[in-house]
Amino acid sequence: MTSLDKPTADQESDSKAVTEAALFEAFGGVRGLVETVVPGLLFVTIFTINKDLHMSAVAALAVSLVLVVVRLVMKGTVKHAFSGVFGVAFGVVFAMMTGNAKDFYLPGMLYTLGLAVAYIVTTLCGVPLIGLILGPVFKENLSWRTRNPGRKKAYAKASWAWGLILLAKCAILFPMYWWADTTKFGWVLIALKIPPFLLAVWLTWVFLAKAPAPIDVFAEMEAEEKAEKEAKAARKEGAARHRREV
């Protein structure tokens, strides 16, 4: 590789900035974290104060709905807020059905476990889940699977990181679900909401920032379409010239 082939400091900086922006979009950024944490935090706070399952559940569901309304009013992306509403709603249903406040957290725990398994299994199958999630964000779709091996390797590393971090989180929470009281369990769960997520996102950024640049398949499709139109126009012009000469 010559000095001209090596990425410059500006190119590396641009790559890191693009990666940061893509991760921010995919995972919701600071606002997405807030929308993920606030309903559960409100639930455990109210339950800690008055041990009222019904009031805690209703408050958590109400604030998650408010967050969706705020998103809609501000015309923002609502997928993170809606996912929060569904998660809280399932938790409320579980807790109300069993009468056990800890069951408010059970659907989210099962989802985390399933997601951890999905990250690991898809990576073992050669289609790392983080690549499926971020591919469209980077406008590369699945081109990394066959055309960009360095990027596929980075996605595999990132998926392993997500899977193992989420499994470690489950290894802490599931035993506590059985033996800890609701208040202690709820606060530990809230404490484990953000740090593992940030660690996984940071590792993803590290792996992708060092990986080859994504192949913009949308730009390629537009270029091919433009070239095809130009070729078609050239053929028509050639045919018309030929008729005039004849």
pLDDT at 162: 97
pLDDT at 238: 67
**pTM recorded for the entire structure:** 0.81
The region of weakest confidence among 3-17, 30-44, 232-246 is: 3-17
> Closest Cα partner for 156 from 203, 109, 218, 197?
203
Evaluate if residue 37 carries a pLDDT over 80: yes
Average model confidence (pLDDT) for the chain? Answer: 84
Given pLDDT bands bounded at 50, 70 and 90, which one contains residue 12?
low
Integer CA distances (angstroms), 244 to 232, 234, 236, in order = 19, 15, 12
Q: pLDDT digits over 168-182, tens only?
A: 999 999 999 999 898
Q: pLDDT digits over 225-236, tens only?
A: 777 777 777 777
Cβ 203 vs Cβ 158: under 8 Å: yes
pLDDT at 227: 73
Q: pLDDT digits over 60-110, tens only?
A: 999 988 888 887 777 666 666 667 788 889 999 999 999 999 999 999 999
pLDDT at 2: 41
pLDDT at 4: 40
Please report where in the chains the tokens 């641009």 appear, as a residue. 14
Given pLDDT bands bounded at 50, 70 and 90, which one contains residue 36?
confident
Cβ 206 vs Cβ 130: under 8 Å: no
pLDDT at 80: 62
Mean pLDDT of 154-183: 95
Evaluate if residue 243 carries a pLDDT over 90: no
pLDDT at 236: 74
pLDDT at 69: 84
